[in-house]
Structures are given as structure tokens and as C-alpha cells.
């Protein structure tokens, strides 16, 4: 009788840097992958670089050059994921499994040419499919792609998550599993808030806000892709057998009618242009050149004008502050503003939850809790399901803990 091979499912698994930090952990990951394969699944695996490899490579680059960015840096950084993917394939073969490693380019990850922050234009998954059909476990180097000119690009820090969801979507996988060093998505960073609670499930929209505002457990662009292609994403630990958190679009969210989580971001700097003449065209004159310089501006606040003079404040990342000042200072002179001042010691704390939609009281409660701790709120931004306060960076961690308690997130009330 001929054997008919029927696969249970196609599963994409992504393992982060801590999960593949050394030889023992790589063998541990190989055993998990093998167990998934043994259940009859086809398995595509995306890996990050081992441990702190990417940081070390960046450090090396900056030891030899002041501005190592661009093409060469991307090739250098891509080697981290080449190492982990090849070594993982070797470990699986040693266990008797058929496995093959592919670089981003070989796996068909095509990007634009924005080095160090490239965006995926398309995934040509033919090679991956061929290898799966041959019975291989396919191990893809995360975080990297290739331009039309065959230059290697990287997708931005934490970008292996994006590779994983993009591949899962293009292959029509049944789930994209993100294996990391914590038991899923928590109500706040569990390293900061010891009684933070892992969520069973969370909606794409809430996860997108959490990730964009600092919860680095999954990359915001991976969540965006997940939502776009309706790809369920399971965030789960590679060290335990716990069930993890399902990010999906299902309607039966446990999290309606409350704050689901708290995020923090310490990478905030502020520029205020003082004494700006209040007339049409001024905002464009300031923000157009910033956009052209590739500086993304976050919160923008303009005060009510007095005698047609106003102050304009906006935030950028700390790394962009010097560049933004270089762009803005000459413009401020040109439009006869009084001066430009900056502050690079800021951070953001955000509360997020669909339950805040159309429900008054959350903002007031948040401000009351922060003021109760003597924390001064410098700027406030909101979306329908998020309230963010920009505060002194030194108080951000206190703010997260006290808000976590105030909104009773440890008990899920």
C-alpha cells in the first residue's frame, strides 16, 4: 500500500535571540521544532541572531567608523541571523530530521532599499514551498531581505517578528507562533511589574497600540501585518509549556470594557519652538523639512496663540534629536521665532484598552494617579483606545507600576 502523506497544518515558528543564545538553547529549540514536525505539521522556522549578536555587531561597526550605516552595516548585521539559522539546521539534521537553512534573499523576502529600516514589498515563497514539499523543515534567517539590485537589507531592530508574520501570511500558514523569553503578552512588562498577568488573548488593535507605545514583546509592524492578513499570532515562551497569548481578530475578547495593558517608552525627546508667529504655512514650513530629513515626528502640540504668537512643541526619538535641531533651528530664525529649546530626558507611559472607547473617566483617573505620585505631565496624546502621558524619564517606571495597581490589572478586574 502506498503511504499517503497528509499534513495537519503549516506552522510558522519564530525564535527570538534569547531562545537561541547558545548551543544548549539551540538544541532545546530544535527539540520543540522536531515535536511540531512529529505531529505531522509542515514547519517553517524564522530565527533571530544568537543572544546579543546584533548589538555586538553594531558596536564593532561603530568602533571602525563614525557613520557605518547603510549598505555595509546591513550586510554585517544580517550575518547574525545567518549564523543562528545554519546552526539550527545542523542541530535538526543531527537529530535525524530533514532541514535546510535559507537567507532572507533565498526565502524570497523582497524589500525596498531603505537600509536598516527596509519594508517588505513582496514575499516570493516558491523556494520555501519547494523545500517543504521535499519534506524539509525550512529555517529562515529573520530580520533581512534583499532589494531589486540584490543588496541585503535589514528590517529594523526586532525585525524577525516581521519576517515571521510576512512568511506566515504569504504561505497561508494556520498560525504564526512567536517564541520568546516570557510566557506571552502581559498586562505590563513582567520585568518591571512583578505581578503583571499574562493575557490569554488580545485583539490586533490593542496589541498594535501596546507594541507601538513600547511593549517590545512583538514588533508593531508584525502586528499590523497580522491584522492585514488575518493571521493569528501566538506569543509563547520557548522555555516553558505555558499556552501563551493569542493575538487575533476574534470577537469574544476577554478584555472588553477595561484597560488591557500598560506600555512604556523611554526613547522620547521634545523640541519647543518658542514665540512662533501664528499664521498659515508655518507648520508646513517646519514639518516638511523634518519629513524630508527622514525624521519622524510623534506628538505635536501648538498652544493657543496670544497676540498672534504661539509655542509649538513636538517629540522625536532621542537618536533623532540632534538631527531635528539642525533642521529646525535655521527655520526658527527664518520665521522669526524667539528660540528653540529641547529636552532629551523624557518618556511615555500609555494605558491601552478598547474598553476606554466612549467611556469617560479613564483619562481623569490616569491623571489623578500620576499627580498623586507628584509626576508632572508634560504632554498628553490619545487615540480611541489609548491615553499617553509624556513625563520625566526618571518617573516612567514608577508610573507604570502605580497605574498597573490603580487599574487593578493584576487581578483582571
Please identify which residue in 13, 80, 353, 391 interacts with ligand ASP, judged by CB under 6 A.
80
Minimal distance in Å, beta carbon 317 to ligand ADP?
18
With the C-alpha atoms ordered 357, 363, 366, 370, is the resulting torsion angle positive or negative?
positive
Structural contact between residues 316 and 298, judged by C-beta atoms closer than 8 angstroms: yes
Nearer to ligand ADP, 221 or 270 (CB): 221
Tell me which H or E stretch contains 135. none
Nearer to ligand ASP, 159 or 353 (CB): 159
Note whether 215 binds ligand ADP by CB under 6 A.
Answer: yes
Residue whose C-beta lies closest to ligand ADP: 16
Cell of 321: 534629536
Report how far residue 398's alpha carbon sits from residue 120's, in angstroms, rounded to the nearest whole number. 38
Q: Is 353 in the site for Mg ion (CB under 5 A)?
A: no
Selected from 17, 142, 159, 232, the binder of ligand ADP by CB under 6 A is 17
80 binds Mg ion per the rule CB under 5 A:
no
Distance, CA of 96 to CA of 91 (rounded, Å): 9
Task: List C-alpha distances in Å: 182 to 87, 91, 147, 194.
Answer: 23, 24, 34, 12
* Piece in contact with Mg ion (CB under 5 A), picked from 8-16, 67-75, 139-147, 254-262: 8-16
* Residue 244 interacts with, from ligand ADP, Mg ion, ligand ASP, none (CB under 5-8 Å by kind): none
HSE-up of residue 20 (Cα within 13 Å, Cβ side): 33
Q: Are 299 and 268 in contact (CB under 8 A)?
A: no
Q: Which is closer to ligand ADP, CB of 96 or CB of 194? A: 194
**212 in contact with ligand ASP (CB under 6 A):** no
189 binds ligand ADP (CB under 6 A): yes
* Paired strand residues for 177: 13, 234
| Cα(334)–Cα(273) distance, integer angstroms | 12
Q: Identify which of residues 51 and 355 has a Cβ nearer to ligand ASP in the complex.
A: 51
Q: Does 191 bind ligand ADP (CB under 6 A)?
A: yes
**Ramachandran area for residue 283 (φ above 0: left; ψ -120 to 50: alpha; else beta):** alpha
Q: Closer to ligand ASP by CB, 14 or 404: give it.
A: 14
Contacts with Mg ion in 139-158 (CB under 5 A)?
158
**Residue 100 near ligand ADP by CB under 6 A:** no
C-alpha–C-alpha distance, residues 341 and 271, integer Å: 6
CA angle in degrees (0–180, nearest 5) for 278-267-195: 125
Q: Are strands 233-237 and 152-154 parallel, antiparallel or unpaired?
A: unpaired
Interface positions, 20-49, toward ligand ADP (CB under 6 A): 48
Phi, psi of 358 (to 5 degrees): 55, 20
Q: To the nearest whole angstrom, how small is the minimum distance from the Cβ of residue 18 to Mg ion?
A: 9
Distance CA 144, CA 123 (A): 12
Please tell me whether residue 118 adopts helix, strand or coil conformation. Answer: coil
One residue of 13, 18, 41, 170 binding ligand ADP per CB under 6 A:
18
Q: In this chain, which of 164, 185, 202, 253 binds ligand ADP, going by CB under 6 A?
A: 185
Spatial separation of the C-alpha atoms in residues 129 and 144, rounded to whole Å: 19
Of residues 252-271, which lie at the interface with ligand ADP (CB under 6 A)? 261
> Considering the rule CB under 5 A, would residue 159 count as an interface residue with Mg ion?
no
Select the residue interacting with ligand ASP from 158, 198, 214, 261 (CB under 6 A): 158
Cα–Cα distance measured from residue 253 to residue 178, given in angstroms and rounded to the nearest whole number:
20
Among positions 300-339, residues that touch ligand ADP (CB under 6 A) are none
Among residues 142, 145, 198, 261, which is the contact residue for ligand ASP, using CB under 6 A? 142
CA gap 216, 211 in Å, rounded: 6
Segment 17-56, which members bind ligand ASP (CB under 6 A)?
17, 48-49, 54
- Minimum CB separation of residue 90 from ligand ADP in Å reads 21
Q: Strands 386-392, 339-352: parallel, antiparallel or unpaired by DSSP?
A: antiparallel
What are the residues binding ligand ASP (CB under 6 A)? 16-17, 48-49, 54, 80, 142-143, 157-160
What are the residues binding Mg ion (CB under 5 A)? 16, 158
What are the residues binding ligand ADP (CB under 6 A)? 16-19, 48, 158, 180-182, 185-186, 188-191, 215-217, 261
Amino acid at each position: 500500500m502506498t503511504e499517503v502523506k497528509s499534513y495537519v497544518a503549516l506552522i510558522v515558528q519564530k525564535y527570538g535571540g534569547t531562545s537561541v543564545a547558545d548551543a544548549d538553547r539551540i538544541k532545546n529549540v530544535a527539540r520543540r521544532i522536531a515535536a511540531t514536525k512529529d505531529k505531522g505539521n509542515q514547519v517553517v522556522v524564522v530565527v533571530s541572531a544568537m543572544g546579543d549578536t546584533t548589538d555586538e555587531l553594531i558596536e564593532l561597526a561603530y568602533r571602525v567608523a563614525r557613520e557605518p550605516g547603510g549598505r555595509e552595516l546591513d550586510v554585517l548585521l544580517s550575518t547574525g541571523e545567518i549564523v543562528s539559522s545554519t546552526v539550527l539546521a545542523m542541530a535538526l539534521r543531527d537529530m535525524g530530521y530533514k532541514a535546510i537553512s535559507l537567507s532572507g534573499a533565498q526565502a524570497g523576502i523582497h524589500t525596498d532599499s531603505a537600509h536598516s529600516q527596509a519594508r517588505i514589498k513582496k514575499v516570493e515563497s516558491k523556494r520555501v514551498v519547494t523545500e517543504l514539499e521535499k519534506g524539509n523543515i525550512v529555517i529562515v534567517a529573520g530580520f533581512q531581505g534583499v532589494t531589486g539590485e540584490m543588496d541585503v537589507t535589514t528590517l529594523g531592530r526586532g525585525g524577525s517578528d516581521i519576517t515571521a508574520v510576512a512568511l506566515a501570511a504569504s504561505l497561508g500558514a494556520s498560525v504564526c507562533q512567536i517564541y520568546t523569553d516570557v510566557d506571552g503578552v502581559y498586562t505590563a512588562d513582567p520585568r518591571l511589574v512583578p505581578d503583571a498577568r499574562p493575557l490569554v488573548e488580545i485583539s490586533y488593535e490593542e496589541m498594535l497600540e501596546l507594541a507601538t507605545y513600547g511593549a517590545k514583546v512583538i514588533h508593531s509592524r508584525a502586528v499590523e501585518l497580522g491584522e492585514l492578513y488575518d493571521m493569528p499570532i501566538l506569543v509563547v515562551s520557548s522555555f516553558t509549556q505555558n499556552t501563551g497569548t493569542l493575538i487575533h481578530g476574534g470577537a469574544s475578547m476577554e478584555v472588553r470594557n477595561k484597560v488591557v495593558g500598560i506600555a512604556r517608552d523611554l526613547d522620547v525627546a521634545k523640541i519647543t519652538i518658542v514665540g512662533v508667529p501664528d499664521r498659515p504655512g508655518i507648520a508646513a514650513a517646519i514639518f516638511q523639512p523634518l519629513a524630508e530629513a527622514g525624521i519622524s515626528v510623534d506628538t505635536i502640540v501648538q498652544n493657543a496663540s496670544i497676540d498672534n504668537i504661539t509655542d509649538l512643541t513636538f517629540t522625536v526619538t532621542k537618536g533623532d534629536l540632534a538631527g531635528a535641531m539642525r533642521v529646525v533651528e535655521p527655520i526658527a530664525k527664518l520665521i522669526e521665532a524667539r528660540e528653540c529649546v529641547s529636552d532629551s530626558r523624557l518618556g511615555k507611559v500609555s494605558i491601552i484598552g478598547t474598553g476606554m472607547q466612549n467611556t469617560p473617566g479613564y483619562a481623569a483617573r490616569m491623571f489623578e494617579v500620576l499627580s498623586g505620585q507628584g509626576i508632572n505631565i508634560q504632554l498628553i496624546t490619545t487615540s480611541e483606545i489609548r491615553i499617553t502621558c509624556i513625563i520625566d524619564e526618571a518617573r516612567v517606571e514608577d508610573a507604570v507600576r502605580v497605574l498597573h495597581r490603580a487599574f487593578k490589572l493584576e487581578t483582571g478586574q
